[in-house]
Amino acid sequence: MKLNLHLTRIFFTVVRENSFSKAAKVLFVSQPAVSKAVRELESQLGLDLLERTAGGQTKNGKLRLTDSGRALYARAREIFALEQLAVNDLEEHLSASKGRLTIGASTTVASYWLPPLLARYKEGHEDVALRVVVGNTESICHDLKEYRIDLAVIEGTTEDPLILSKDVLTEKLNLIAPACFQLSTNQHDAMAQLNSAVWLVRERGSGTRTVTESLLQANHIVPSGTIEFGSNEGIARAVSHGLGVAMLPNVVTQELAELGRIKTLAPPFLPEFQRKLKLLTRVNSTLSPVAEAFARQIITSPPDIQSVS
């Protein structure tokens, strides 16, 4: 059995984009040509790669891989990642200070932590073309596994066996409330207030949402109601307008607290809330020289937590 890499690339793109039409746009070919290529690959291999109905369409309009399809996609992802790595290595052969670097970052990291890191990195890597992809922790982990980014820095957690996670920074989280909010000094009454309050939280898939839920559970706080927001800044502003309480990174809340727009709550019966910012790379995948230089910088000399805010 021989594997046609051209047809495999088309199949890989179809699965990665989860669409024949989107794959056609990425590959600059027609959709019928993409469909024909996948059928031809299946014919050459003697295997069905996609589950189809009798009419030739995928079930429910979505791609569903057979066991053979999943196995081929996993290997194809490795093959084309190595191809891209080889191209990058050749481009960067003359100097580790040249090339391209795509960094994934969750929203808080991109807004506050990443700018000083990139500024310092650029001082010794002026010719590196930088690109930052921003999303919540879940989407960034997906992009990393799909080789759309070289590495990532997030404030969430991941248990994915294909991703290597390393703690690089400790970030303080603040429990915040509207400026007029009065938390009782009695522990029982204060806990009742926190339980009955409306909590403003990030969307599911966000690292801030995950760590907030974990810390609330660990401290026996069960919000009676929640409102979801797509950004930490939106939550902070909503708290300042009296919409509810929240748990957010110090770098997000510090300025509003200093202006008296919100109040930071630090009851003695609750611990200081912290979380780890993490550097993510792929397991068993070699970083390009420019990516290695960035990873080494953030590990050996992370930014001063006070200077970021």
Write the pLDDT tens digit of every residue in 207-258.
788 888 888 888 888 888 999 998 899 999 999 999 999 999 998 999 999 9
Q: How many residues does the chain have?
A: 309
Q: Which residues pair with 262 in a beta bridge?
A: 178
Q: What is the pLDDT of residues 130-183, one digit of tens each?
A: 999 999 888 999 999 988 999 999 987 888 999 999 998 888 899 999 999 999
Q: Which residues pair with 58 in a beta bridge?
A: 52
Which of 183, 150, 152 has the alpha carbon at shortest distance from 291?
150
Q: Domain limits of the chain?
A: 5-80, 89-169+276-308, 170-274
Neighbours of 43 (CB within 10 A): 10
Mean pLDDT for all residues in the chain? 87
Q: Which residues pair with 131 in a beta bridge?
A: 102
**Which structure tokens are listed for 178?**
């509207």
Check residue 284 and give its pLDDT: 81
Check residue 307 and give its pLDDT: 45
- Over its C-alpha atoms, the chain yields an Rg (Å, rounded) of 24
Quickly name the fold that domain 170-274 has.
D-Maltodextrin-Binding Protein; domain 2 (3.40.190)
Q: For 110, which DSSP code?
A: I
The CA distance from 220 to 194, in Å, is 10
Which of 266, 297, 253, 255 has the alpha carbon at shortest distance from 279?
297
Quickly name the fold that domain 5-80 has.
Arc Repressor Mutant, subunit A (1.10.10)
| Crossing angle of the two packed helices 289-300 and 114-124, in degrees rounded to 10 | 120
pLDDT at 111 over 60: yes
Q: For 55, which DSSP code?
A: T
Check residue 138 and give its pLDDT: 87
CA contacts within 13 A on the Cβ side of 162: 11
**Which structure tokens are listed for 54?**
């009798």
The yes-or-no answer to whether 5-80 and 89-169+276-308 have a common fold is no
CA distances from 21 to 17, 36, 63, 172 (A): 9, 13, 12, 45
Neighbours of 266 (CB within 10 A): 11
Quickly name the fold that domain 89-169+276-308 has.
D-Maltodextrin-Binding Protein; domain 2 (3.40.190)
> b/e per residue, 86-112, with b = 16+ CB within 10 A?
eebeeebeeeeebbbbbbbbbbbbbbb
Check residue 258 and give its pLDDT: 92
Q: Which residues pair with 289 in a beta bridge?
A: none
Which H or E element spans position 247? strand 246-249
CB distance 153 to 110 below 8 Å: no
pLDDT at 274 over 60: yes
